[in-house]
Amino acid sequence: MNSPVSRAAEVLTGGGVIAYPTEGVFGLGCLPDNLQAVTRLLEIKQRDPTKGLILIAAEPSQLEGWVSDEDLRRLPSPNRDLAITWITQAGPKSGPLLRGDHPGIAVRITNHPVAAAICRAVASPITSTSANLAGEPVVNDSSALLNSFESLVDYVVPGDCGPTTGASEIRRLEDGEVLRSGSR
């Protein structure tokens, strides 16, 4: 039988949407270059497309083309105790469905073992938006995730969130300014 990471990779490369654990909350994800999957993810979440999405990657090289070359070189290593999402200059692959109404793109090098393994398995970043309907509380409990999203997504990847709780901190790479505080 396929491992959960292999199954997630199959679903993603087939154009599907998954729910998966991250550092602080469960996320909804798809491959960022599949516009049909990104559109479906936005519909599942009922998210305003002008808000944009986050891309997560296992290593900076996976963000090549999604982030400007200059910012790609400047991305810091992941923080073990705090998930930090960086607002960077967008690269040529970052279209409006990913950026929303913003000129930059939000990215995070994930240190969550399952999320990073999925990125490695598909050799690509994946989208990451919290597994909740727009305006509703975030989901960090696996039973609540299954109740809310099992029928809406193509695969729910088993695993636990952590080591933080809640959404990631968001900082602007240009000057380090904190735009949203994270949880520990």
Instruction: Note the maximum CA span of the chain.
Output: 47
Average pLDDT of the residues in 64-91: 92
Q: Which H or E run contains 56?
A: strand 54-57
CA distance 158 to 123: 20
Where residue 133 sits, what CATH number does that domain have?
A: 3.90.870.10
pTM, full prediction: 0.94
Residue of 142, 113, 117 lying closest to 5 (CA atoms): 117
- How many independent structural domains does the chain possess? 1
Which residue segment(s) compose the domain that 172 sits in? Answer: 4-180
Indicate the pairing of strand 126-130 with strand 54-57.
Answer: antiparallel
pLDDT at 181 over 90: no
Question: Would you place residue 1 in the very low, low, confident or very high pLDDT band (cuts 50, 70, 90)?
Answer: low
Report residue 57: phi and psi, to 5°.
-145, 160
Residue showing tokens 């990125």 = 119
Greater confidence, 78 or 97?
A: 97
Report the pLDDT value the prediction gives residue 180, as an integer from 0 to 100: 80
Task: Give the pLDDT confidence of 110-159 residue by residue, as tens digits.
Answer: 999 999 999 999 999 999 999 998 888 887 788 888 888 999 999 999 99
The conformation of residue 77, written as its DSSP 8-state character, comes to P
Confidence at 90, pLDDT banded by 50, 70, 90: very high
- How many percent of the chain have pLDDT more than 70? 98
Residue 61 scores a pLDDT above 90: yes
Q: Which amino acid is at 70?
A: E
Q: Is the dihedral angle over the CA atoms 40, 32, 104, 119 positive or is it negative?
A: positive
